């Protein structure tokens, strides 16, 4: 065995460039892959462990319309075994909160009448402030999602505007409230003392709403419970239910997108690594053909020769996977910590030193390298000593080479029109078809990744431009009436909306609805239902800029447009009709359009207020938001400022841009780091691969360079011509990479995001930015070649020729 080790060690020691080159590629591939896997895994693990620890709800029933008796519903669930049920909690909605004089934009608050803690379901985890069974009078507990993003701490005071005035409460605790803490969420539960709730909330117009959380011992059994529950009710359950999938989805979305993209790229990179490995081993065997022959002639068996190669590359893989794994731990830790910050209680094991999944991934990488080394090194089996020593290659190849081939190449490079340096450069390119192919491949990939990465980040960062394609309105600003006692809609119309700068406006509200899901086969006895959230417009969807992927916006009292996931679940298309229960009343509506929306994973619908008014003529008073567009030439910001100064206490006014920023700045923060890391990795890989290919080639060609030098070419000329050749080749790669990045990779995003309600991710083509990505990999390639050719500089013709 010693001889195998000796051989392996000599190869490791004497082929430093090739070996470090393989090592770096393996390291980066392991880094990407194990980062992706750890991010996915840790996100899930962290969420699940927090969900278990808090005894998180699987479903949350919101009884808001008085259709079912809350107590009766609550009691029925409490009687079931295998289900833990929270107290029946009273709440009201508020949509205004300010801290330190700053209005917090875009919030939907559940003002909760806190029951005695600790809660049996959705137990709060106290991050700041002392854990108590219930908040003291005059204080409130707020969720981490609101606290962290607005820098609110225990002891600060927060204000809530209501119809009756302003409530000021002191923050007594910041809590992780598992079901309402996800990133990108705009809703949160504010926990109030019972007296405070009674004092401030019950005075407000409207009725108390009720909420109860359900936690199943076995979540997969929930259908059976629901069947019995609806049997008991005698009707379908017509209020809203939030289920586990939607409660957890936003914890996962960013990391899932990132991880899937990363895994995809890592797999690509591993393929490149394997190809490179094959290339290098084949090259090592070819260039050592004679040596292998000698070694075999002293009696070393083929098996052992192969073993030496396999040992060499497995060793390299082992050595390089370790730093990859360590860095990936840091990287994935950072990514997870960033996106899961709201779950961080400071005590949980966020930064486990080694992620088990990461370790397994690395083991997998080593195994793959081992197997491919075995495959590629098999070439050495056929080395016949006498032939190897005589020809330095196999007899077959020898006889192949002595027959004339490759005339087209010679012809191509005889063109008198090309400058000499170009011909010299291209000569080495065509001579090394395999190496050149690898260069094209890697330039293509890295250009594609750079272009796609830029496209993705740029599109998220400038999401204002495509906001309607993410399911939001694209109005200039929104106005919410916080205090109807001081300002009615009629007054608003008179004072604000009639302003000559206002181009158009619509009023919006929302409503919960339940949709029966038609059973397949038509043999339905019992019906399944799904709860969806409806946007209700008194006005014009088109003006406010809502868009559809198919069909048009609803305009009349019997029309609806639905989100892609609703359409998918129901199996309907534009033009079909559907039954829907709104506030307990059944309507049959024609589907006019299908749209995609990231909010609520497209489990939503859009109707006009006329639909509800047919059964509830008073509905209009519940519509407290108005979206408006301004005439051209009017500055939205100054208009918003002006209104805020005049109506600050009764109206919530915000430009659409600032609302969008609020949600998506988080997203940008989360994705920028990993995408930049990936882009950087690919640039580094390009440099490393090209550097190494050039080094290998230049070693082989050193005799030729010696001859060039001895006939009077300068080193600079030789290096320039080599680099020119590489620039041409990688330029070809970059050209192929652009369409791949622009058209090939985006569908990947569509696949990942379609579960979240976005079937066609709206990307913004920014020509300048994309163009600026193209030269990056070509430059990296050129630099790689230039650096690799440094050895030509120092060597004298004698050294080059003798080598």
Partner 1 sequence: MIDFRRRPCVITHNPRKEVLIKTVDLCKVYSSGHEQFLAAKSINLEVYQGDFTVIMGSSGSGKSTLLYLLSGLDGITSGEVMFKGERIDAYTEKELTDFRSNKIGYVYQSINLVPDFTLLENVAFPGYVAGRSKSEVNEQALSLLHQMGIGAQAGRLPSQVSGGQQQRAAIARALINSPEVIFVDEPTGALSQEQGAVILDLLTEMNQNNQSIVMVTHDIQAACRADRLSVVKDGTIDGILELGKYAPDQLKARENQIFMFMSGEER
Question: Residue length, the chain?
Answer: 803
CA-CA-CA-CA dihedral for 655, 658, 663, 668, to nearest 10 = 140
Shortest spacing between CB 378 and partner 1, in angstroms? 14
398 touches partner 1 (CB under 8 A):
yes
- Which of these segments, 216-224, 367-375, 389-397, 521-529, binds partner 1 (CB under 8 A)? 389-397
Q: Which residues pair with 481 in a beta bridge?
A: 651
The tokens for 604 are: 């939503």
Q: Which is nearer to partner 1, 100 or 386 (CB)?
A: 386
- Interface map 264-293 toward partner 1 (x if CB under 8 A): --------------------------xx-x
Minimum CB distance to partner 1 smaller for 186 or for 302: 302
Cα–Cα distance between 90 and 191 in angstroms, integer? Answer: 11
Give the Cα separation of 149 and 342 in Å (integer).
Answer: 9
Q: Give the separation between CA 214 and CA 364, rounded to whole angstroms.
A: 40
> In whole angstroms, how close is the CB of 17 to partner 1 at the nearest point?
14
Contact 527, 236 (CB under 8 A): yes
Least Å distance between CB 318 and partner 1? 22
Q: Does 298 bind partner 1 (CB under 8 A)?
A: yes
Is residue 302 within the footprint of partner 1 (CB under 8 A)? yes
By CB under 8 A, is residue 625 in contact with partner 1? no
By CB under 8 A, tell whether 389 contacts partner 1. yes
Q: Are 176 and 50 in contact (CB under 8 A)?
A: yes
Binder of partner 1 out of 402, 414, 417, 498 (CB under 8 A): 402
With contacts defined by CB under 8 A, name the span among 131-139, 146-154, 298-306, 669-677 that binds partner 1. 298-306
Q: Token pair for residue 190?
A: 């504010």
383 binds partner 1 (CB under 8 A): no
Omega before 18 cis (within 30°)? Answer: no
DSSP code of 47? H
Select from 66, 138, 385, 648 the one that contacts partner 1 (CB under 8 A).
385
* Stretch in the footprint of partner 1 (CB under 8 A) among 123-131, 258-266, 386-394, 671-679: 386-394
Q: How many residues bind partner 1 (CB under 8 A)?
A: 31
φ, ψ for residue 126, nearest 5 deg? -85, 115
| Closest CB 789 distance from partner 1, rounded Å | 23
User: Which two structure tokens, joined as six digits, stand for 478?
Assistant: 């929104």
Smallest gap from residue 791 Cβ to partner 1 (A): 17
Using CB under 8 A, pick the residue from 252, 295, 307, 776 that binds partner 1: 295
Is residue 30 helix, strand or coil?
helix
294 binds partner 1 (CB under 8 A): yes
Which residue in this structure is represented by tokens 């497209």? 602
Q: By CB under 8 A, name the one of 330, 356, 371, 386 that touches partner 1.
A: 386
- Which stretch in 61-69, 351-359, 397-405, 471-479 sits in contact with partner 1 by CB under 8 A? 397-405
Binding flag, residue 101, partner 1 (CB under 8 A) = no
Kindly state the smallest distance separating residue 379's Cβ from partner 1, in Å. Answer: 16
Decide: is 405 part of the binding site for partner 1 (CB under 8 A). Answer: no
8 A C-beta contact, residue 773 and residue 445: no
Q: Which of 3, 156, 352, 550 binds partner 1 (CB under 8 A)?
A: 3
Q: Which is nearer to partner 1, 302 or 665 (CB)?
A: 302
Dihedral angle sign, alpha carbons of residues 46, 48, 49, 50: positive
Cα 732 to chain center, whole Å?
A: 30
The reply on whether position 10 binds partner 1 by CB under 8 A is yes
Residue number with CB closer to partner 1 (13 or 411): 13
Residue 732 lies near partner 1 (rule: CB under 8 A): no
d(CA 569, CA 219): 20
Long-range contacts (CB closer than 8 Å, 24 or more residues apart) made by 489-492? 489/620, 489/623, 489/626, 492/626, 492/651
User: Can you tell me the distance from the alpha carbon of 732 to that of 142, in angstroms, rounded to the nearest whole number?
Assistant: 56
Closest CB to partner 1 among 296 and 587?
296
CB atoms within 10 A of CB 166: 14
Smaller CB distance to partner 1: residue 15 or 469?
15
* By the rule CB under 8 A, 387 interacts with partner 1: yes
Binding region for partner 1 (CB under 8 A) out of 357-365, 367-375, 382-390, 437-445: 382-390
715 is a contact residue toward partner 1 (CB under 8 A): no
State whether residue 115 is helix, strand or coil: coil
Output DSSP code: residue 347. S
14 binds partner 1 (CB under 8 A): yes
* Using rule CB under 8 A, residue 296 touches partner 1: yes
Binding status of residue 510 toward partner 1 by CB under 8 A: no
Q: How many CA atoms lie within 13 A of 36 on its CB side?
A: 22
Q: What is the 3-state secondary structure (H, E, C) of 535-593?
A: EEEECCHHHHCCCCCEECCCCCCCEEEEEHHHHHHHCCCCCCEEEEEECCEEEEEEEEE
Residue 766, Cβ neighbours under 10 Å: how many?
A: 14
Q: What CA dihedral angle connects 725, 729, 731 and 737, to 10 degrees? A: -170
Instruction: Evaluate whether 213 touches 60 at the Cβ level (below 8 Å).
Output: yes
Q: Rounded to the nearest whole angstrom, what is the least distance from the CB of residue 295 to partner 1 in the complex?
A: 7
Told to check if 796 binds partner 1 by CB under 8 A, we report no
Task: Compose the 639-668 pattern: x for residues touching partner 1 by CB under 8 A, - for all others.
Answer: ------------------------------
Q: Closer to partner 1 at the Cβ: 389 or 457? A: 389
Q: Distances from the Cα of 303 to the Cαs of 1, 64, 185, 378, in angstroms? A: 12, 75, 61, 9
Least Å from the CB of residue 303 to partner 1: 9
List, as one string, the DSSP characters of 668-716: HHHHHHHHHHHHHHHHHHHHHHHHHHHHHHHHHTHHHHHHHHHTT--HH
| Span of 260-268, 364-372, 387-395, 479-487 interacting with partner 1 by CB under 8 A | 387-395
Among 204, 268, 282, 300, binds partner 1 (CB under 8 A): 300
Using CB under 8 A, which of the segments 1-9, 336-344, 433-441, 600-608 binds partner 1? 1-9
Looking at the Cβ atoms of 385 and 551, the one nearer to partner 1 is 385
Q: Which residues contact 349 (CB under 8 A, 6 or more apart)?
A: none
Check if the beta carbon of residue 63 is closer than 8 Å to that of residue 239.
yes
Least Å distance between CB 6 and partner 1?
6
CB-CB neighbours of 281 under 10 Å: 24
The reply on whether position 403 binds partner 1 by CB under 8 A is yes
- Provide the minimum distance between the beta carbon of 686 and partner 1 in the complex, in angstroms, as a whole number: 30
Of the residues 299, 522, 617, 767, which one makes contact with partner 1 according to CB under 8 A: 299
Nearer to partner 1, 49 or 297 (CB): 297
Q: Note whether 408 binds partner 1 by CB under 8 A.
A: no
**Is residue 606 at the binding interface for partner 1, with CB under 8 A as the rule?**
no
Asked whether 123 and 175 are in contact (CB, 8 A), the reply is: no
In angstroms, the CA 697 to CA 657 distance is 55
Based on the shown chain and the rule CB under 8 A, indicate whether residue 743 belongs to the binding site for partner 1. no
Contact 596, 563 (CB under 8 A): yes
Which residue shows structure tokens 């990688």? Answer: 730
Nearer to partner 1 among residue 22 and residue 451 (C-beta): 22
Pick the stretch among 10-18, 190-198, 365-373, 692-700 that binds partner 1 (CB under 8 A).
Answer: 10-18
The residues of the shown chain that bind partner 1, judged by CB under 8 A, are: 2-3, 6, 10-11, 13-14, 290-291, 293-302, 304, 384-387, 389-390, 395, 398-399, 402-403
């Amino acid at each position: 065995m010693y001889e195998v080790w000796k051989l392996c060690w000599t190869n490791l020691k004497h082929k430093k460039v090739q070996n470090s080159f393989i090592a770096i590629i393996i390291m980066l591939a392991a880094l990407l892959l194990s980062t992706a896997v750890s991010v996915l895994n840790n996100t899930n693990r962290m969420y699940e462990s927090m969900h278990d620890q808090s005894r998180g709800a699987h479903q949350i029933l919101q009884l808001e319309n008085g259709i079912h008796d809350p107590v009766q519903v609550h009691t029925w669930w409490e009687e079931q075994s295998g289900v833990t049920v929270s107290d029946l909690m009273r709440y009201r909605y508020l949509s205004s909160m300010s801290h330190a004089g700053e209005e917090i934009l875009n919030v939907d608050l559940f003002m909760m009448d806190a029951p005695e803690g600790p809660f049996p379901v959705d137990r709060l985890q106290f991050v700041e402030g002392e854990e108590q069974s219930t908040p003291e009078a005059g204080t409130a507990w707020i969720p981490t999602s609101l606290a962290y993003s607005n820098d609110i701490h225990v002891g600060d005071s927060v204000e809530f505007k209501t119809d009756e005035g302003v409530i000021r409460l002191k923050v007594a605790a910041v809590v992780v409230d598992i079901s309402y803490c996800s990133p990108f969420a705009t809703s949160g539960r504010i926990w109030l003392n019972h007296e405070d709730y009674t004092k401030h909330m019950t005075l407000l117009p409207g009725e108390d709403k009720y909420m109860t959380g359900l936690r199943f011992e076995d979540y997969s059994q929930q259908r059976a419970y629901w069947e019995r529950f609806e049997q008991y009710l005698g009707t379908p359950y017509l209020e809203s239910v939030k289920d586990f999938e939607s409660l957890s989805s936003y914890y996962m979305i960013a990391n899932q997108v990132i991880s899937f993209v990363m895994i995809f790229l890592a797999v690509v990179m591993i393929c490149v690594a394997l190809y490179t490995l094959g290339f290098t081993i084949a090259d090592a065997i070819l260039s050592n053909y004679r040596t292998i022959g000698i070694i075999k002639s002293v009696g070393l068996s083929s098996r052992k020769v192969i073993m030496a190669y396999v040992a060499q590359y497995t060793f390299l893989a082992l050595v390089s996977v370790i730093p990859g794994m360590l860095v990936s731990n840091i990287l994935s830790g950072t990514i997870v910590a960033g996106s899961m910050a709201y779950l961080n209680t400071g005590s949980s094991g966020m930064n486990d030193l080694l992620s088990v999944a990461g370790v397994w991934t690395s083991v997998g990488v080593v195994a793959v390298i081992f197997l491919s080394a075995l495959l590629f090194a098999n070439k050495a089996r056929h080395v016949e000593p006498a032939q190897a020593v005589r020809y330095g290659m196999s007899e077959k190849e020898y006889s192949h080479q002595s027959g004339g081939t490759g005339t087209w190449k010679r012809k191509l490079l005889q063109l008198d029109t090309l400058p000499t340096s170009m011909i010299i450069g291209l000569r080495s390119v065509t001579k090394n078809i395999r190496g050149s192919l690898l260069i094209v491949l890697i330039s293509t990939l890295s250009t594609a990744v750079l272009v796609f990465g830029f496209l993705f980040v740029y599109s998220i960062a400038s999401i204002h431009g495509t906001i309607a394609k993410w399911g939001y309105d694209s109005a200039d600003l929104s106005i919410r009436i916080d205090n109807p006692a001081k300002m009615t809609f009629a007054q608003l119309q008179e004072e604000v909306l009639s302003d000559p700068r206002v181009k158009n406006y619509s009023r919006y509200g929302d409503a919960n609805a339940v949709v029966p899901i038609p059973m397949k086969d038509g043999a339905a006895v019992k019906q399944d239902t799904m709860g969806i959230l409806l946007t209700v417009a008194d006005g014009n969807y088109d003006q406010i800029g809502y868009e559809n992927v198919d069909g048009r916006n609803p305009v009349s009292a019997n029309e609806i447009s639905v989100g892609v996931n609703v359409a998918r679940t129901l199996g309907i298309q534009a033009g079909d009709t559907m039954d829907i229960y709104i506030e307990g009343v059944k309507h049959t509506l024609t589907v006019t359009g299908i749209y995609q929306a990231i909010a609520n994973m497209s489990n939503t619908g859009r109707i006009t207020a006329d639909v509800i008014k047919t059964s509830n003529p008073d509905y209009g008073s519940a519509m407290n938001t108005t979206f408006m567009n301004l005439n051209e030439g009017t500055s939205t910001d100054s208009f918003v400022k002006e209104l805020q100064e005049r109506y600050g206490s009764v109206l919530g006014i915000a430009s659409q841009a600032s609302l969008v920023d609020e949600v998506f700045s988080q997203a940008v923060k989360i994705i920028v780091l990993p995408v930049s890391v990936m882009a950087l990795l690919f640039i580094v890989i390009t440099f490393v691969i090209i550097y190494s290919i050039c080094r290998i080639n230049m070693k082989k060609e050193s005799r030729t360079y010696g001859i060039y030098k001895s006939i009077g070419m300068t080193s600079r000329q030789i290096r320039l011509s080599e680099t020119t050749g590489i620039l041409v080749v990688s330029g070809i790669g970059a050209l192929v990479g652009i369409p791949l990045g622009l058209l090939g990779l985006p569908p990947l995003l569509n696949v990942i995001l379609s579960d979240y309600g976005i079937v066609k991710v709206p990307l913004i083509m920014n020509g300048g930015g994309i163009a600026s990505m193209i030269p990056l990999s070509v430059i990296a390639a050129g630099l790689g070649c230039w650096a690799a050719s440094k050895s030509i500089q120092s060597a004298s013709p004698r050294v080059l020729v003798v080598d």
